[in-house]
Structure 1
Amino acid sequence: MNKKYVVRTEYLNFLKRHQAKHVIKVVSGVRRSGKSTLLFLFREYLKSTGVSEKQITTINFEDMAYEQLRDPKKLYNYLRQELVADKMNYIFLDEIQHVHQFEKVVDSLFIKDNVDLYVTGSNAYFLSGEIATLLTGRYVQINMLPLSFKEFVEWHKQNNLFTNNTEMFNEYLQSSFPYTLFTSNEQEKMEYLQGIYSTIVLTDIVTRLKVRDVPVLERLIRTLFSDVGSPISINKIANTLKSAKYSTDNKTIERYLQGILDSLLMYEARPYGIHGRSILRSNSKYYFVDPGLRRLLLPDNQEDYGHIIENIVFLELKRRYPSVYIGKVNNLEVDFVALNIKNEVRYYQVALTTLDERILERELRPLRQIKDSYPKFLLTMDMLNKDANYDGIQKMNILDWLLKGN
């Protein structure tokens, strides 16, 4: 295994499953989550199966060398000239959101029988609205997150750097971005994370939304990072910022919040009524894409391990299930409700520890009020009694669960 790369097996398998099939392969994800490396590793795989270099065309639109190809007509003409007749052509368009009206180029390439098309983007809005409508039924998409704990551990084992699961998890909480594996010290790691954060804020939020009051945006981001795992009210945030002498209103906060979600810096978990099986119109919770970014923004607020662990579990559920919600049952809350592609439900309650009987009863209470037969899990950091079963509610150690996979 080359120490330089982290092989993202599940994402590679996604590309392999759809290789040469008549759909556009779309990989979205926050900046520096590993999309470009994934495409590189897939190209290496293609060459190992006999695909020639002439059949592969790669353009990264963040490379100045390709800046003129951000014009859709120039891009299409360039790609058309690169096609090899009577052969399958593999085209990789990285960070395609930089191309104005890229959907027209993609649609024109899609209708060609000898083109297999792969695109990536670093935000959610590049496949939204009219674009998604135009390409409906023509693409498959996977959202790429930074490293899972399982990937993090496997890389350390492959490079003979593994110590034990607990120490690995402590390191993992420093950051899950792939490149941080190669930083040599804490300062270098934090400087790298600062670069990611600044690029996301300035390029993917401020520039796109034409934000005039950047301090309000940054205060909003810090508030969301601080209140992770808590229901968020737009009205309450606006009032909090006003009391801190920031000039803003609900409409502005709502607009900035959508920009933060579109940048994939954070994810929303909406409330789900368990008894009625419906999405509720109450306050959502928001979770950050990487624990290192929270350390960067809130260096003096690192002891909230309960909510940090909850955030890690949420991200893992996002990797395993297409839909993840926060659950409401009567007047109680279930941390997460996950639905698979068949709409089969899994319930998850998360706690640092339940060795105290009062805490155990508190965590079990909402799960016990759910009368269906879908699996229910209690995830904790406990090593003692870690595999207990409470009338069908299965307790699991979080590290074991993270490493077990789906």
Structure 2
Amino acid sequence: MKSVGNNLVKVVVGQRRVGKSFVLRQVLSQIVAGGVPAENTLYINKEFLEFSAIKSAEDLQSLYAAYKNRFSPQGRTYLFIDEIQYIDGWERFVNARSQDFAEPCEVFISGSNSDILSGELSTMLSGRYVRFEVFPYSFGEFCELTGKPQDASSFTDYVQHGALPELFNLDSEEMRRNYVESLKDSVMLRDVVQRYRIKDATLLNDLFVFLSNNASNLISFTNVVKSLKGQGRKTNYETVSTYAGYLENAFLIHSCPRFNIRGKDSLSGPAKYYMNDFSFHNYLYAGFGYGMGYLFENAIYLELRRRGYDVYVGELDGSEVDFVAIRNDARIYIQAAYKMEGESTIAREYAPLEKIRDSYPKFVVSLDEFRLPSNNGILHVRPWEIP
């Protein structure tokens, strides 16, 4: 982690079981390997039984004082707190320790809910933290784990499998299906139902199923309400919108708002939603006719997010550009097409990009074995070649 060695609080967020704890332990190991004495580090994981008694900021302070008394660390200490959202008032402790210049302490925290960065913490730290989001394995990591080459066949296997780390340790389809089901239930219960005191957990699950099976489609909550009511579910726009926000806070889904390319601003209203991992569809809802094209588009969205882009659905003169990806002052436009079979498909995928008059890079991404020549500056690339 490049940000080590300063007073910024490092905040690692992401869905449960994507590897946040592994990331924290990696950083800790690198710090010790770099010459920091082991006694200058303290690692607390709130999911470990040993730390179940730590429930408040005062408990954290007592544990930290006991650690300092027991090991007498000299110089900067490094404090890691995993799944910190289970500790009431933790913001006050983190703020106090990270800003203690007399006894410097570098703080690393993780959480399975994005709103740990809202409210009091952001107010207290006011820019004195840096956020890292952990996603399931990338295609490159998938190939490294499986020994597969980076080619179209491997990418198809990647999106039809799932990229949650634990899936690679399970030998059978049944075990993987049971794991994904239990993970989904755990996230729903602990990171949504209990956290937000959800009154209708069945509706929450129905909404997740709907969004899973309509990923990569433009979704209006008004239409979602109509669909759920058609299934006999009593709900309204406000509830559906709120529940979708909770699912996104728990990193089960990601919203992709629309972006006015000509006006250069985001648009309210309908948006696309993408799954945080393909396994939810592949192992739980595979019978809903969700095609490879949708999985492919979902994969491109996640890859752009991994690379640090803010991602939008582009709109220009009635045409839709699959992705407008913005990172600092850089911007790229992308059309995602699983396979471009025939001249009409090729023309359809290139047309929205050809309407854009600015000079930002433009790409058509597909898994075709052939590579089309540059067309008015639009490049044809494979998913692993996206800059």
> Would you say same fold, with TM above 0.5?
yes
Query: Is the contact made by 1:295 and 1:302 (CA closer than 8 Å) also made in structure 2?
Result: no
Aligned to 1:39: 24
Q: 1:48 aligns with which of 22, 28, 33?
A: 33
Aligned to 2:131: 141
Superposed CA offset, 1:303-338 (max 9, x none):
511111000000000011331101001100000000
Amino acid at match of 1:89: T
For the pair 1:209 / 2:196, whether they are aligned, the reply is: yes
Amino acid at match of 2:256: A
Query: Is the contact made by 1:383 and 1:397 (CA closer than 8 Å) also made in structure 2?
Result: no
Aligned to 1:131: 121
Unaligned ranges ≥5, structure 1: 1-14
Superposed CA offset, 1:321-363 (max 9, x none):
3311010011000000001112x21000011222311111111
Aligned to 1:332: 319
User: How far is 1:133 from its partner?
Assistant: 2.0
Query: Is the contact made by 1:27 and 1:120 (CA closer than 8 Å) also made in structure 2?
Result: yes
- Pair 1:78–1:44, CA change in 2 (3 A): same
Aligned to 1:20: 5
Amino acid at match of 1:225: S
Higher mean Cα deviation, 78-87 or 115-124?
Answer: 78-87
Distance in 1 (alpha carbons) for counterparts of 2:157 and 2:171: 13
Moved beyond 4 Å, runs of 4+: none
> Percent identity over the alignment?
28
Amino acid at match of 2:82: D
TM-score (norm: length of structure 1): 0.90
Q: 2:331 aligns with which of 339, 345, 348?
A: 345
Aligned to 2:140: 150
Q: 1:88 aligns with which of 50, 55, 76?
A: 76
- Pair 1:85–1:164, CA change in 2 (3 A): closer
User: How far is 1:104 from its partner?
Assistant: 0.3
Aligned to 1:364: 350
Superposed CA offset, 1:46-99 (max 9, x none):
222222221110000111211111221011121133234532211100000111
Distance in 2 (alpha carbons) for counterparts of 1:322 and 1:368: 22
Distance in 2 (alpha carbons) for counterparts of 1:365 and 1:116: 51
For the pair 1:238 / 2:225, whether they are aligned, the reply is: yes
Amino acid at match of 1:34: G
Query: Is the contact made by 2:91 and 2:120 (CA closer than 8 Å) also made in structure 1?
Result: no
Unaligned ranges ≥5, structure 2: none
Aligned to 1:270: 257
Q: 1:249 aligns with which of 236, 243, 248?
A: 236
Aligned to 2:367: 381
Amino acid at match of 2:382: N
TM-score (norm: length of structure 2): 0.95
Alignment of 1:184-333 (within 5 A): 184-301=171-288, 303-333=290-320
Distance in 2 (alpha carbons) for counterparts of 1:362 and 1:163: 30
